[in-house]
Amino acid sequence: MAKVSTIGRTYHKNLVRLYGFYFNTNIKALVYEYKEKGSLDYILFNNYKSLEWVKLHEIAIGTAKGLGYLHHDYDNIIIHYNIKPGTVLLNLKFSPKVADLRLAML
């Protein structure tokens, strides 16, 4: 519960926003904002359209800014531990947001 509370208070333009959660003895669920383009791994490995290098660079910089906020600028330092293309989500303009903070270590 403490991790969920901390993650719920964490906000940065390059982090996926946690909207809610549900905990039961059998079911545990976190509800994050929806990103229309899905994950970066889908775009890189399954999509037949390739992104231009400029856009890939913007995605890399945005991802780094989100991680930099977690590691350096947030009051409680959060280490993600699971960064990979599947945990970077993209909106319609391909702006990145780091997701899957449930695995993060405070």
Instruction: Note the Cα 82 to chain centre separation in Å.
Output: 10
List the structure tokens of 10: 């964490």
DSSP lists the bridge partners of residue 22 as: 29
DSSP state of 49: S
Which helix (H) or strand (E) segment is 64 a member of? helix 53-68
List the structure tokens of 50: 């390739």
Give Cβ neighbours of residue 20 (< 8 Å, ≥ 6 apart). 30, 31
pLDDT band at 95 (very low <50, low <70, confident <90, very high): very high
Delineate the domains of the chain, giving CATH numbers in brackets: 2-103 (1.10.510.10)
Kindly report, residue by residue over 10-67, the tens digit of the pLDDT: 888 999 888 888 888 888 888 888 999 999 988 888 765 678 889 999 999 999 999 9
